[in-house]
């Protein structure tokens, strides 16, 4: 017969092992996808800003300093820049290094969710919640972002961990968890403005439930006051962000805002809380995930045998935060229903779904176990797809262009976007602009002219000029666009759908002065096709006419 101390040691060892397994799953999945992700517009902005000092970063984001990086200005608060700056001083400003910061953040978030679920509803619930977070392909994709989002996932996980402890621990321990909630709330708000939504939702739950369980309301109000005072420091950043929503900060930048409220947008946000395009590459995985979600969602509704206040608090926070987001979609042109702005929902969703393992009803516990198992299996399939076909799920086709420029030589080549709409072109222009610091000449097709095809410098430069006048020995002519998850999956199954030659490519291929050397394409959310043309010997570039 074993003594209680031995049993506690074994339970502790089992908890540590399962927690480590959940964290390792999150890290392995993100690390496997990391080499496949490619730079895009927002990451070019973040990396450009990280070259500044912390003080200059704050002045730049607050509109008090102007730095012409040639890419979009940002509309974020400064904390992710300060953390990224510190990380870059330790590990370098390279792309892999900065993506690793997000992997570490998501690993820590997974550990916090595991700790919260285990504390409130037991080891099974903690393991289920942590796997639902760490194995989610949406979180895997977020983890390797060189943006604030993985850090925002961490601050949200810390906030909801503190809320669970506040509502599950004895009331006399509430002060420490209120202090933790305040700290995580302030961090979240200075990472992303939607951190204020998460903070407000969590504190609303605390204001309702702390008095119901015999706690004092005054400390909760004091913590709210502290967060409110700290949030006042966001005003310079908020005001600049609002101004930058009205007009793009760099000529040629695609529109930053669009109407967002629609049934489709709401459904997309709900879908992205659990599903990812990589999970839908298999009908079996899709069916398993859908069935698992139904089972786990229904099973988490009945009352639990323990941690009832904690789960009710998460429901209140999740529902109230969601209502605020939906309401704001009616009054702002910002796409507030975009899943990347609402990553604060992921930790709460994982905890709520996992809590069904503590249900009073045996049938609900079995349904949760089956549902979570099916969901996690579907997610792990998605992770395998991201690890093996991750290039297809990258942000953009930047890697294809970057490889071509490196091989050909940045001083010998120019990039020509065979498009008149800058929306997709900007997603490729910006990372190329950052990577080559303006040394790479970039052009875009101009509006049709009476005397033939013309191009102009992109985003600002000479033009319109004849493509033959571009002073380069080699041209990379790019066709690009944007597709959604349905299009991506359809092309993965049915084959790549070519854009076909645009007017510039057709003109140059028919010209006696150019010869086609290479063609290529890549399937991403911003797919790209390239034609590499070399100037024939004895056909020097014509002098470009002066800009009108």
- Per-residue model confidence as pLDDT tens digits over 450-484: 668 889 998 877 778 889 889 999 999 999 988 88
Angle formed by the axes of helices 123-134 and 362-388, nearest 10°: 30
Note the pLDDT of residue 542.
52
* DSSP per residue, 28-44: HHHHHHGGG----HHHH
Say whether 502 sits in a helix, a strand or coil: coil
* DSSP per residue, 414-431: EEEE--S-HHHHHHHHHH
Same domain, 379 and 456: no
Note the pLDDT of residue 139.
97
Average pLDDT over residues 344-366: 94
Q: Is the pLDDT of residue 547 over 50?
A: no
Same domain, 305 and 181: yes
Q: Is the peptide bond before 72 cis (omega within 30 degrees of 0)?
A: no
Within a domain: 14? no
Same domain, 344 and 460: no
The continuous run of DSSP H or E covering 216 comes out as: none
Q: How far is CA 377 from CA 144, 372, 491, in A?
A: 22, 8, 24
Same domain, 50 and 152: yes
Q: Confirm if 252 and 426 have CB atoms less than 8 A apart.
A: yes
Note the pLDDT of residue 253.
53
Within a domain: 5? no
Same domain, 326 and 306: yes
Average pLDDT over residues 347-359: 95
Note the pLDDT of residue 190.
98
Which one, of 402, 342, 384, lies nearest residue 39 by Cα?
402
Q: Using 50, 70 and 90 to split pLDDT, how confident is the model at 435? A: very high
Q: Is the pLDDT of residue 278 over 60?
A: yes
Residue that finishes a domain, picked among 330, 364, 392: 392
Total-model pTM: 0.93
Say whether 349 sits in a helix, a strand or coil: helix
Say whether 183 sits in a helix, a strand or coil: helix
Within a domain: 32? no
Same domain, 452 and 386: no
Within a domain: 172? yes
Same domain, 493 and 366: no
Note the pLDDT of residue 537.
74
Same domain, 287 and 213: yes
Within a domain: 540? no
Same domain, 520 and 424: yes
Q: Using 50, 70 and 90 to split pLDDT, how confident is the model at 533? A: very high
Q: Using 50, 70 and 90 to split pLDDT, how confident is the model at 6? A: confident
Q: Is the pLDDT of residue 517 over 80?
A: yes
Within a domain: 494? yes
Which tokens belong to 256? 């930053």
Q: Confirm if 181 and 166 have CB atoms less than 8 A apart.
A: yes
Q: Confirm if 334 and 340 have CB atoms less than 8 A apart.
A: no
Within a domain: 15? no
Same domain, 130 and 230: yes
Q: Confirm if 401 and 478 have CB atoms less than 8 A apart.
A: yes
Which one, of 170, 168, 156, 149, lies nearest residue 102 by Cα?
149
Longest Cα–Cα distance of the chain, Å, equals: 94
The mean pLDDT of the chain is 90
> How far apart are alpha carbons 229 and 521 in whole angstroms?
51
Residue that finishes a domain, picked among 341, 360, 392: 392
Higher pLDDT, 509 or 422: 509
Q: What angle do CA 536, 537, 543 make, to 5 degrees?
A: 80
For residue 465, what are the β-bridge partners? 455
Note the Cα 275 to chain centre separation in Å: 14
Q: Is the pLDDT of residue 249 over 50?
A: no
Residue that finishes a domain, picked among 364, 392, 420: 392
Note the pLDDT of residue 545.
42
Which tokens belong to 269? 């946000």
Neighbours of 247 (CB within 10 A): 9
Say whether 452 sits in a helix, a strand or coil: strand
Q: Is the pLDDT of residue 518 over 90?
A: yes
Helices (H), 275-355: 283-299, 308-328, 345-354
Same domain, 102 and 146: yes
- Per-residue model confidence as pLDDT tens digits over 31-59: 999 999 999 999 999 999 999 999 999 99
Same domain, 414 and 366: no
Q: Using 50, 70 and 90 to split pLDDT, how confident is the model at 296? A: very high
Domain of 101, in residue numbers: 40-253+264-392
Residues 6+ apart with CB under 8 A from 377: 285, 288, 292
Within a domain: 11? no
Number of domains composing the chain: 2
Residues 6+ apart with CB under 8 A from 385: 137, 278, 279, 281, 393
């Amino acid at each position: 017969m074993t003594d209680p101390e031995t049993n506690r040691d074994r339970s502790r060892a089992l908890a540590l092992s399962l927690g480590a397994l959940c964290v390792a799953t999150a890290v392995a999945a993100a690390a496997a996808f990391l080499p496949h992700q490619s730079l895009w517009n927002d990451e070019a902005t973040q990396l450009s800003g990280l070259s500044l000092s912390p003080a200059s970063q704050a002045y730049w984001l607050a509109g008090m300093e102007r730095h012409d990086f040639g890419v979009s200005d940002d509309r974020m608060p400064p904390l992710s820049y300060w953390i990224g700056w510190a990380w870059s001083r330790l590990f370098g400003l390279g792309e892999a290094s900065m993506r690793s910061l997000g992997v570490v953040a998501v690993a820590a978030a997974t550990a916090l969710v595991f700790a919260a679920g285990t504390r409130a509803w037991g080891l099974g619930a903690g393991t289920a919640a942590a796997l639902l977070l760490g194995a989610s392909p949406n979180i895997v994709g977020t983890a390797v972002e060189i943006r604030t989002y993985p850090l925002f996932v961490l601050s949200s996980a810390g906030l909801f961990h503190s809320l669970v402890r506040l509502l599950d621990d004895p009331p006399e321990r509430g002060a420490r968890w209120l202090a933790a909630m305040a700290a995580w709330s302030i961090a979240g708000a200075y990472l992303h403005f939607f951190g204020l939504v998460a903070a407000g939702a969590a504190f609303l739950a605390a204001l309702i439930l702390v008095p119901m369980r015999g706690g004092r309301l005054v400390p909760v109000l004091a913590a709210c006051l502290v967060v409110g005072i700290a949030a006042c420091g966001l005003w310079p950043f908020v005001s600049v962000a609002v101004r930058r929503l009205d007009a793009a900060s760099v000529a040629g930048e695609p529109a930053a805002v669009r109407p967002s409220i629609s049934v489709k947008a709401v459904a997309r946000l709900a879908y992205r809380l659990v599903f990812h395009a990589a999970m839908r590459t298999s009908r079996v995985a899709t069916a398993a995930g859908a069935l698992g979600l139904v089972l786990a969602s229904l099973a988490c509704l009945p009352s639990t045998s323990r941690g009832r206040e904690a789960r009710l608090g998460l429901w209140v926070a999740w529902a109230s935060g969601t209502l605020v987001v939906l309401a704001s979609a009616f009054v702002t042109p910002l796409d507030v229903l975009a899943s990347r702005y609402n990553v604060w929902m992921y930790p709460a969703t994982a905890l709520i779904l996992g809590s069904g393992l503590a249900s009073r009803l045996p049938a609900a516990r079995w349904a949760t176990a089956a549902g979570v198992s099916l969901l996690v299996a579907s997610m792990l399939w998605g992770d395998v797809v991201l690890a093996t076909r991750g290039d297809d799920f990258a942000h953009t086709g930047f890697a294809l262009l970057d490889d071509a420029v490196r091989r050909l030589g940045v001083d010998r080549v120019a990039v020509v976007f065979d498009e008149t709409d800058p929306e997709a072109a900007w997603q490729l222009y910006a990372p190329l602009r950052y990577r080559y610091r303006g040394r790479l000449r970039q052009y875009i097709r101009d509006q049709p002219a009476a005397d033939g095809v013309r191009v102009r410098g992109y985003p600002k430069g000479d033009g319109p000029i004849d493509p033959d006048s571009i002073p380069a020995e080699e041209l990379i002519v790019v066709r690009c666009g944007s597709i959604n998850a349905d299009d991506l999956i359809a092309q993965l199954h049915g084959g790549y759908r070519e854009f076909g030659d645009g007017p510039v490519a057709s003109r140059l291929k028919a010209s006696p002065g150019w010869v086609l050397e290479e063609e290529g394409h890549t399937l991403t959310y911003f797919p790209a096709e390239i034609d590499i043309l070399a100037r024939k010997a004895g056909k020097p570039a014509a002098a470009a006419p002066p800009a009108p």
